[in-house]
Amino acid sequence: MDWYDSDNQALSATEDFTDHFAYMLSDGRRKNEVNIHSLTADEKREMNSAKKIEADQWIGNAVYTVAKRAGIPKNRIMSMRWILTWKKIEETGGRKAKARLVVKGFTDPDLLQIRAESPTLSKIGRNCLLQLAASYKMTLSMGDVKTAFLQGNQGESERDIYGDIPADSRDLFNLAPDEVIKLEGSVYGLRTAPKAWFAKVTTDLISLGAVQHPLDQCVFIFFDKQGKLMGAIGVYVDDFLFAETDGSEWKSMMKKIKDKYTWGKHDYQNFILCGVQYRQDSDYSITMDQRDYVESLSPHDLRPDHELKCLKDNEEITNKKWLKRFRGANGALQWLSTNTRPDLAADTSISAGTSGVGVTKNSILNAQKIYRKAHARIGVEVRIKHIRPEDLRFSAFHDAGWASRPDNSSQGGLMIFACHKDLLDGKEATISLIEWKSWKLKRVCRSSLSAECQAMAEALDTLNFVRFFWEILTGKSKITPKIDQDHELTKAPMSSLITDCKGLFDAVNRSQSAGLGLSEKRTAIEALSIRQICTASNVSVKWVNSDRQLADILTKVGVMPENLDRALNTNQWRIVFDSTFTSAKNLRKQKREKYFKKTVDPTSRSLLAELTPDEMAHVIDLVRRHGKRE
């Protein structure tokens, strides 16, 4: 999706909109809408009161004028409808009626001609904003603009389009039977409404002195008169995410921002935004989870019926009902895995990848397993820790699963952490997860080395993007018409790129042989490019064994989550470098042999040598619980 600053300039928006769109189309989202005919008399009265409030907003924002129906072409009059929902009241646990009047935008006569692109806040933008609040000891808060689209730029009068208010609500607008409304401003349902609203927000905040981040147009940075950072805002449609200082200059700025729009609630340090629960602790660390959202996902929605049970496991499904359920489930899971659940990212990516190549009974059952896994591990949280700005660095873990997808294509995975500088020196240090991604590698891989090289290239690009994003966000890199990225990143503190592939580590770090000693020439070219970028952008490449590779869980299904859980629960990690480059498998073997030399008599060792790893683990457990005799 592109956002156009002008007719001649197109800027990339975030990939997260794909996940957001999938979430908005998922069955769980639409289930929230209520049918007026199914309500009790008291509930209908609540909804009618909500309709009155919505109508007053339309009138107050002057987004329409009244026109006679006669003489207006029928194709320029769009139908309208009410969207009725119950909104949860977080403070009391109760609910209140909410009514939204929308035009049916798909009936817009200019639908295929109008420009309607608008960005949304990216995950990197959001998480860097959270790290900013944690590191600079800012207060996190969230403000909700009421009926935001009605407050957008007034530009619809030029298009000469009309709306037909539902018959049961015409009295709220004092309309006669032969009258319709002419749209003068942006309203809900119009394809242009998000763009009109965001254009107004951009104009307003820049007029107040904000600096719009060039890498995420939804992030706005504020500096005081001395050029010192005093606050930042992330805009997600009608929700504003604030990182606030407590100085008088910022308080004055907040008052000006508040005066620009009509606001709903404004919550501090504990709130829900787009299905994500945010909590800020006394040390300014921020925790995110989606417990409530997970509880709304029911594995029973994917429980096989008689028709599905009769199919063979790999038989392709043609039933539209099940195809819709499967795509809706993947959309809901993508929203979850993108925001707070990296442990589900590989499962969800691989599940969603089957949508375009043929959905089978196994596809449905696998999606149901992911639902169950989401529920079983509902306590997973992502925590952004306080790290002093002068000590903050970035590290990227990456991995690849060669031919690990059902179609034998390869899966890449990466994680970007903000970390204390001690991590780069091999010490245990504080970490915050900023970005994670699990994706299908674009090129066919002839070997695991080729897959690892592709994943490393993507991780390096993402690492440098995050580093550059942070430098601009904190004011260390100034925004100029011509920005030399390599120069700016060379000035930035060193970061690290962490791999568990010994061959790739040697090629990028050590090899002076022709083609870096690699037999695959395309991989050699890519590795050479990685080496040059690392040198130019001040990035060191480090090797760890696979047990210390946090991105491993993003590359295949069925990886045990202990390492990731430890990193997320403690927010501590250590890069363990072994000069002998002993693999994790051999290290585990050495530990087992060392353990049994102490605990098992010599006559039993020959038998133990023949055991499988699972059998060996069982024996170890028995010895620990019952002693040598057992």
For the segment 204-223, what is each residue's pLDDT rounded down to a tens digit?
999 999 999 999 999 999 99
Question: Confidence class of residue 576 from pLDDT cuts 50, 70 and 90?
Answer: confident
Q: Do 468 and 603 belong together in one domain?
A: no
Q: Do 481 and 602 belong together in one domain?
A: no
Report pLDDT for 19. 46
Any domain includes 252:
yes
- Distances in Å between the alpha carbon of 6 and those of 10, 115, 203, 235, 455? 8, 10, 14, 20, 35
Q: Do 228 and 177 belong together in one domain?
A: yes
pLDDT in tens, 130-150: 999 999 999 999 999 998 988
Show the domain range for 617.
584-626
Q: Do 421 and 537 belong together in one domain?
A: yes
Among 53-57, 347-351, 486-490, where is mean pLDDT lowest? 486-490
Question: What is the CATH classification number for the domain harbouring 489?
Answer: 3.30.420.10
Shortest CA distance to 366 belongs to which of 352, 381, 387, 386?
352
Question: Confidence class of residue 319 from pLDDT cuts 50, 70 and 90?
Answer: confident
Question: Confidence class of residue 432 from pLDDT cuts 50, 70 and 90?
Answer: very high
Report pLDDT for 25. 44
Q: Are 608 and 596 in contact (CB under 8 A)?
A: yes
Report pLDDT for 158. 81
- Distances in Å between the alpha carbon of 188 and those of 24, 53, 147? 15, 15, 9
Any domain includes 295:
no
Q: Do 457 and 492 belong together in one domain?
A: yes
Any domain includes 335:
no
Question: Confidence class of residue 511 from pLDDT cuts 50, 70 and 90?
Answer: low
Q: Are 63 and 154 in contact (CB under 8 A)?
A: yes
Any domain includes 338:
no
Distance CA 204, CA 186 (A): 17
Q: Do 481 and 618 belong together in one domain?
A: no
Report pLDDT for 320. 86
Instruction: Please give the average per-residue pLDDT across 82-89, as a whole number.
Output: 90
Q: Do 454 and 483 belong together in one domain?
A: yes
Share of the chain above pLDDT 70, in %: 87
Q: Are 374 and 344 in contact (CB under 8 A)?
A: yes
Q: Do 45 and 191 belong together in one domain?
A: yes
Q: Do 476 and 594 belong together in one domain?
A: no
135 or 513: which carries more pLDDT confidence? 135
Per-residue DSSP letter, 315: P
Q: Do 200 and 236 belong together in one domain?
A: yes
Distance CA 20, CA 17 (A): 5
Shortest CA distance to 571 belongs to which of 418, 379, 383, 289?
383
Among 201-210, 315-324, 469-478, where is mean pLDDT lowest? 315-324
Question: Confidence class of residue 589 from pLDDT cuts 50, 70 and 90?
Answer: confident
**Total domain count, the chain:** 3
Distance CA 415, CA 397 (A): 5
Q: Using the structure block, give the residue that is written with the tokens 């809900």.
A: 188
Instruction: Please give the average per-residue pLDDT across 367-381, as a whole number.
Output: 95
Instruction: Please give the average per-residue pLDDT across 307-311, as a whole number.
Output: 82
Q: Are 474 and 130 in contact (CB under 8 A)?
A: no
**Most distant CA pair in the chain: distance in Å?**
101
Any domain includes 369:
no
Any domain includes 361:
no
Instruction: Please give the average per-residue pLDDT across 482-487, as a whole number.
Output: 70
Backbone φ, ψ for residue 308 (5° rounding):
-70, -35
Of 252, 286, 320, the last residue of a domain is 286
Of 225, 257, 286, the last residue of a domain is 286
Handedness of CA 336, 340, 341, 345 (dihedral sign): positive
For the chain, give the mean pLDDT.
Answer: 87
Q: Do 137 and 52 belong together in one domain?
A: yes
Shortest CA distance to 195 belongs to which of 254, 203, 264, 261?
203
Q: Do 278 and 423 belong together in one domain?
A: no
Any domain includes 336:
no
Of 286, 302, 325, the last residue of a domain is 286
Share of the chain above pLDDT 90, in %: 60
Any domain includes 354:
no
Among 47-51, 112-116, 569-573, where is mean pLDDT lowest? 112-116
Shortest CA distance to 62 belongs to which of 190, 144, 154, 139?
154
